[in-house]
Amino acid sequence: MYIRRVSRKNKNGTTTAYLQLAHNEWDPGSKYAKAKVIYSFGREDEVDRSVLERLVQSISRYLTPEAALQAQNAIGDTAEFLFQSSKRLGGSWMLHQLWKKLGMDAILEKLFSDRNHQSSIERLIFSMVANRALNPSSKLAMEDWVKHDVYLPGITEVHSQQLYRAMDELLEVQSELEHQVYCSVSDLLNLEVDLLYFDTTSSYFEVDPFDAPEDDEFRKAGFSKDKRPDLIQVVIGLAVTREGIPIRSWVWPGNTSDMSVVDEVKKDLVGWRLGRVISVMDRGFSSEDNLRTLQRTGGHYIVGEKMHSGKETTEEAMSRKGRYHHVRDNLQVKDIIVGDGEARKRFVLVYNPKEAERDRIRREQHIEKLQGHMEELKQLGKQAHTKAACRLRSHPTYGKYIRQLKDGTLKLDKQAIRDAAKYDGKYLIRTSDDTLSAEDVALGYKQLVDVEDAFRTLKTTLELRPMFHRLEDRIRSHILISWLALLLVRIVEVKTGQTWAALRKELDRIHLGHFSSINGDVCQSTELTADQRKSFAALGLEPPPRFLEIHSKP
């Protein structure tokens, strides 16, 4: 069916055209199709265009948005579009699609199904997670961000008080949420949880410790891994799979030591029935009590051991002779057993030749600078000499290479330099699992860097610090939202092989334009590049359609 234009020539030489609604029918006698007129609109120059517009609009109800828009444009100048505004779309669309694929929306909707709110709590929580991943800001700044800067499916505006209430309610369902999210993510991504990596970090607050309230039992001064001992802080823990996916987070008061949290972490993870789990932890968790805790209920551990700890077993492991076995480039291992029976301990000594060469060069540079400082001492007066000598002896780098003679003279300690060379490019690992090869132990421990990458992303890309919340519940909720954002970000990074910072920059180029005309409004996305389509395909997600919204005016 189509609009047919026919014309005839008048006696005065002019031409008159007529518009007809027609369709072709097969003529068996003539053996070709002939046009059959269904309706005549009359002369072309006298046609009521509003009749054609109504016809197009009625037909458009049964067309795809793209075809409907083309039909509207075919009417002519009455469908002229004005470019009203533009919002960033790519990052929010990818996070929204991944959020749905992981079943996060369904989990939260079920957890909050008995609560009546004007705005969806699930959408408010997603908006905070997306903000943390795309453009970290305060809750007040989010109001303008959601309204003017980014397109978030299912929510067009937020208010800071709504966000704070959603944070409070999120904390009430934290335990169940973490468990359901883990089950959903592990099933969908087929995560391997035989190795779980755990580490802690700290995050500070822009509050002077002396100005903090006396009853603040959560924000405390402690050992700052951010190198900000002048500020109060909290301690954050992460459990990460071998793929680099954070499956759970913890938060403790700022003066909590690493040694004191292992028991709680172990109990929480045992409650999830993960099966056979080997916990991989750094040297800060290698106390005997912690190692016994990790072995409860059939668990095992791979833990870094401090080579300079002074432990008898450690010294014996380091001094044990034997050949290294080449595992791969720049990685050699030596399996060491110390003791018998219940006192038996298994160590793996790892050696990296390239790292050993870097250690040697770095030490030689330090000694060269140290010799320069010691030469300068000879030019100083007595009092100045004494102060400068004390500074050198207490220096964290230079002090270990210095010895003082009876007359107070400082000299290089050549034995200390030789002893330091024995540790170049080496690190010691202890494990309770005899079924793992030395190679698996070494590579498993090496992957602990994934936790460090997660913390780095949490602090830099997601801008966890500094925090400005004062109440303990708000702090916990803030970290929970940051963990959800980190979960999405790390999945994207693992699946695409790109850093989130680089991918976010590329996704920000995908915009949603709002166009309006007398016939209605259209929201159209920019054309996707091949790289952008590749990123969505790597995650198994649908990219944004060309037309997201089309609203016709009656």
Alpha helices per DSSP H over 112-145? 121-134, 139-144
Here the tokens at position 125 are: 């929580």
For residues 489 and 133, is the Cβ–Cβ distance under 8 A? Answer: yes
Instruction: Pick the range with the lowest mean pLDDT from 16-25, 188-197, 253-262.
Output: 188-197
- Report the predicted TM-score, pTM, of the whole model to 2 decimal places: 0.74
pLDDT for 51 equals 76
Q: How far apart are the first and last CA of the chain?
A: 25
For residues 516 and 77, is the Cβ–Cβ distance under 8 A? Answer: no
The position carrying tokens 């990458």 is: 453
Considering only residues 447 and 151, tell me which one the structure prediction assigns the higher pLDDT.
151
Neighbours of 380 (CB within 10 A): 13
Torsion angles phi and psi, residue 83, rounded to 5: -80, 110
Residue 515's region, left for phi above 0, alpha for psi from -120 to 50, else beta, is beta
Identify the band that residue 273 occupies on the pLDDT scale cut at 50, 70 and 90: low
pLDDT for 212 equals 67
CA-nearest of 261, 251, 254 to 284 is: 261
The span from the CA of 314 to the CA of 229, in Å, is 31
pLDDT for 209 equals 67
Q: Average the pLDDT over 422-437 and give the result.
A: 90
Hey, which residues does 23 pair with through a beta bridge?
Answer: 36
pLDDT for 276 equals 62
pLDDT for 80 equals 67
Cα torsion 433, 437, 443, 445 to 10°: value is 20
Instruction: Pick the range with the lowest mean pLDDT from 12-21, 58-67, 230-239, 247-256.
Output: 58-67
Query: Where do the domains of the chain lie?
Result: 2-77, 175-326+432-496, 355-421
Instruction: List, for residues 189-242, the tens digit of each pLDDT value.
Output: 777 777 788 888 888 887 766 666 777 888 888 888 888 888 889 999 988 887
Torsion angles phi and psi, residue 115, rounded to 5: -115, 130
Q: Which residues, 6 or more positions from 426, have their beta carbon under 8 angstroms from its beta carbon?
A: 307, 349, 350, 351, 352, 356
Looking only at the bridges linking them, the beta strands covering 331-338 and 325-328 are: antiparallel
Identify the band that residue 168 occupies on the pLDDT scale cut at 50, 70 and 90: very high
Residue 88 has pLDDT above 90, yes or no: yes
Q: What SS3 state is found at 431?
A: strand
Name the percent of the chain in helix, strand, coil, to the closest 5: 45, 25, 30
Q: Kindly indicate whether the domain formed by 175-326+432-496 is annotated with CATH number 3.40.50.300.
A: no
Hey, which residues does 4 pair with through a beta bridge?
Answer: 20
pLDDT for 59 equals 74
The span from the CA of 490 to the CA of 498, in Å, is 10
Q: How many residues are listed for the chain in this entry?
A: 554
Here the tokens at position 88 are: 């960033």
The span from the CA of 128 to the CA of 114, in Å, is 22
Neighbours of 250 (CB within 10 A): 20
Residue 64 has pLDDT above 70, yes or no: no
